[in-house]
A and B are shown apart, each in its own frame.
Chain A
Amino acid sequence: MIKAVFFTVLTVAFFYIIWINNIFAPHEHYEMPAQYAKIAEDVSYAKEGKQLFEQNCQSCHSVRYDAVYISSVQANPKLKTLQEQYGKVLPKNVYEAVFYEDLMGLKESFGKVPPDLSTMYLVKGKEYLYNFILEPQKVLPGTSMPAVMAGRPEETAKIVAYLKSVAEPSPEEKNKRVLMGVGTIAYLIVMGILLWVWRARVLKRMGLH
């Protein structure tokens, strides 16, 4: 019994460290004022955020998964023709080949093509994005990203909310998933208990218990 407890605790602790919270590995941590964190969390600001994105970021950055391309591409009549053929979200190779010159123009100015931001929220998280957009040089010294949003923390948070809305499933979808998850897990647990009870009965009848 002691052995069973020992090995169980050891195994659970091991997987807790490896899968859930690795207390030994270094973690980067960024601070964010609570009132702006609340805005960045709330995807109902996404619409406003998208407008702010179009005004401040779109000249360099695309959000391809939302069919938002850099301004010069957006103004190009070819885009519409292509979208009729390939769908709103253009395949990456088609986008990069057709608008090669637009992207290379950006590369000439900034040293590299500014990244697409479709999944950036998932990669960096809201705290990093908020700090980086506000003060790029402080977070990533030497970056060619200009401090376009300097001194506008609330609007920055709204842009982050927009990026979140593109990267993550919508709140309704999330609720659906939670419901599905709870349902699935509850079903499995109930089935497990029923199996156990049924087994006890069967074994009693067979005289094996």
Chain B
Amino acid sequence: MLGRIGRWLDERAHLSELWQSQMIDYKVPKNLTFPYAFGVMALVAFAIQIISGIFLTMYYQPNVHLAFDSANYTIMKEAPFMWLIRHVHAAGANFFLAVVYLHIFTGIYYNAYKKPRELTWIVGWLIYFVLLTTALTGYLLPWGQLSYWGMVVTSEIPTSIDSAPIIGKLKLGELVSVLMKGGYEIGQITLNRFFGLHIWLLPLILLALVGIHLYLVRAAGISNPEGKEIDKKKEGVPFHPYMTLKEGAYLMGYLAVFFFFVFFYMHHFLPPDNYDPANPFKTPAHIAPEWYLLAYYTIFRSIPDKFLGFVAFNLTLVFLLILPFLDFSPMRSARNRPLFFIMFIVLVISAMALTILGTMPPTPTNAMLGLTFTAGLFAFFLSLPIISIIEWGWYKAKGGDKQ
């Protein structure tokens, strides 16, 4: 019976042809390493966020009087199993960003942004950027102390443009800040605005971007850890079952770790301070952004001048965006590029150190350390053109350009 329904459907929708052409005839390199699975993990994390988010909107109330109780009483105590959905959504957001960061660093390590994959990288950057905005808007919704004061600080950051020499006169920063908040203070309008952005606009943009990203990965083919393009007919293995089962098994491991946190360790993802309802008259002792923004935050606060700090952390984002053009070396993958490998380690250590510094109090020593690691971060990006020129020399010396 089931077989007949399947055949009936297949005759009309040609699903098996689609499966054959897209999953089996699609060939991928055989030597893909474990970090290549971060992509599919991010995709699953995204799906988890969408599904759990839809269920949360059924109980959440975007109203300054009711938001906190709807999250902490209705969802956590009244409605059956909604505590689980909230845990999944809160931990899922952190895991999603963690996996996206690992995916980005994998891309950098294997030089997956090089021709013909520049566009994949740029769309990926857009996903990352929209994802940060989604995380930021979602953070306000539980209307706890951290949500509220985190947003007070975040919405002040654009105003640092106003301390710039000439363009500061235009008060652009204030304009952005007012547009974010829908006024001069964070209130009902802000909450509604962020709710709309968080549940409709940003996820839809993300969905579209993720679709384009996946299409581009397919169009350009998966990169290779060895840094060379494979002859798909000779060396490629079928995507299904070779890669699907391998990544499926990795995925189960990822989900096991994820659910360990969901059930047994929510202390970081639902922090204690956020169980305190938002109170505009009580400033909490420690206000810092979530961990995924801390590196930018440390860059921002380590630089004594507000405007320069603003420029510096935005420059990091811009560098990340134009990475495929900064690195124009003919050589690919950190496996074959010793100089690049060293700078990659500088990048990783700087990024991690900046994040950890963001959790520490802003003492002069920490500011100095912050500046040092900011320099490390910039050194990676700025060294890329130099490394590229050196490597062009090596490449030509080997007669590479004549091949």
Partners in one complex: yes
In the complex, B259 has a CB within 8 A of chain A: yes
Q: Which of B46-54, B203-211, B262-270, B395-403 contacts A (4 or more CB under 8 A)?
A: B262-270
Q: Taking chain B's interface residues, is the majority helix, strand, or loop, or is none over half, making it mixed? A: helix
Asked if residues A169 and B65 are in contact (CB atoms below 8 Å), the reply is no
In the complex, B170 has a CB within 8 A of chain A: no
Which residues of chain A have C-beta atoms less than 8 A from B83's C-beta?
Answer: 169
Q: Which of B13-21, B177-185, B238-246, B305-313 contacts A (4 or more CB under 8 A)?
A: B238-246
Known interface pairs A20-B268, A181-B259, A184-B263; A25-B359 also in contact (CB < 8 Å):
yes
Interface residues of A in 39-74 (CB under 8 A from B): 64-65
Asked if residues A124 and B242 are in contact (CB atoms below 8 Å), the reply is no
Interface residues of B in 43-81 (CB under 8 A from A): 63, 65-66, 68-69, 72-73, 77
Q: Which of B128-136, B248-256, B370-378 contacts A (4 or more CB under 8 A)?
A: B248-256
Which residues of chain B have C-beta atoms less than 8 A from A177's C-beta?
Answer: 263
Q: What's the minimum C-beta distance from B38 to chain A, rounded to whole angstroms?
A: 11
Which residues of chain B have C-beta atoms less than 8 A from A96's C-beta?
Answer: 65
Asked if residues B252 and A191 are in contact (CB atoms below 8 Å), the reply is yes
In the complex, A34 has a CB within 8 A of chain B: no
Which residues of chain A have C-beta atoms less than 8 A from B214's C-beta?
Answer: none
In the complex, B328 has a CB within 8 A of chain A: no
Taken residue by residue from 115 to 148, chain A's Cβ proximity to chain B (1 for < 8 Å, 0 otherwise) reads as: 0101110111100000000000000000000000
In the complex, B102 has a CB within 8 A of chain A: yes
Taken residue by residue from 14 to 27, chain A's Cβ proximity to chain B (1 for < 8 Å, 0 otherwise) reads as: 11011110101110
* Interface residue tally on B, bucketed by range: 35 or more
* Interface residue tally on A, bucketed by range: 35 or more
Q: Which of A75-83, A98-106, A151-159, A192-200 contacts B (4 or more CB under 8 A)?
A: A192-200
Asked if residues A181 and B260 are in contact (CB atoms below 8 Å), the reply is yes
Which residues of chain B have C-beta atoms less than 8 A from A196's C-beta?
Answer: 245, 249
In the complex, B229 has a CB within 8 A of chain A: no
Give A116 to B65 CA distance when docked, in angstroms.
14
Which residues of chain B have C-beta atoms less than 8 A from A167's C-beta?
Answer: 275
Which residues of chain B have C-beta atoms less than 8 A from A120's C-beta?
Answer: 276
Asked if residues A192 and B253 are in contact (CB atoms below 8 Å), the reply is yes
Which residues of chain A have C-beta atoms less than 8 A from B253's C-beta?
Answer: 188-189, 192
In the complex, B175 has a CB within 8 A of chain A: no
Asked if residues A199 and B237 are in contact (CB atoms below 8 Å), the reply is no
In the complex, A171 has a CB within 8 A of chain B: no
Q: Which of B259, B360, B361 contacts A188 (CB 8 A)?
A: B259
Known interface pairs A17-B356, A203-B242; A123-B65 also in contact (CB < 8 Å):
no
Which residues of chain A have C-beta atoms less than 8 A from B98's C-beta?
Answer: 15
Q: What's the minimum C-beta distance from B363 to chain A, rounded to whole angstroms?
A: 11
Q: What's the minimum C-beta distance from B128 to chain A, rounded to whole angstroms?
A: 18
Asked if residues B241 and A24 are in contact (CB atoms below 8 Å), the reply is no
In the complex, B111 has a CB within 8 A of chain A: no
Which residues of chain A have C-beta atoms less than 8 A from B63's C-beta?
Answer: 93
Which residues of chain B have C-beta atoms less than 8 A from A185's C-beta?
Answer: 256, 259-260, 263
Which residues of chain A have C-beta atoms less than 8 A from B360's C-beta?
Answer: 24-26
Q: What's the minimum C-beta distance from B66 to chain A, rounded to whole angstroms?
A: 6
Which residues of chain B have C-beta atoms less than 8 A from A37's C-beta?
Answer: none
Which residues of chain B have C-beta atoms less than 8 A from A150's C-beta?
Answer: none
Asked if residues A202 and B275 are in contact (CB atoms below 8 Å), the reply is no
Q: What's the minimum C-beta distance from A16 to chain B, rounded to whole angstroms?
A: 11
Q: What's the minimum C-beta distance from B220 to chain A, rounded to whole angstroms?
A: 24
In the complex, B348 has a CB within 8 A of chain A: yes
In the complex, A92 has a CB within 8 A of chain B: yes
Known interface pairs A19-B268, A122-B275; A208-B242 also in contact (CB < 8 Å):
yes
What would 5 A/B residue contacts be, using CB atoms closer than 8 Å? A65-B72, A89-B69, A192-B252, A193-B249, A202-B245
| Apart from the given pairs A188-B252, A189-B253, A208-B237, 11 other A-B contacts in the complex at a CB distance below 8 Å | A18-B291, A22-B359, A64-B69, A92-B69, A123-B276, A124-B272, A184-B259, A188-B256, A196-B245, A208-B30, A208-B242
Task: List chain B positions with a Cβ less than 8 A from chain A.
Answer: 30, 33-34, 63, 65-66, 68-69, 72-73, 77, 83-84, 94, 98, 102, 237, 241-242, 245-246, 248-253, 255-256, 259-265, 268, 272-273, 275-277, 281, 291, 348-349, 352, 355-356, 359-361
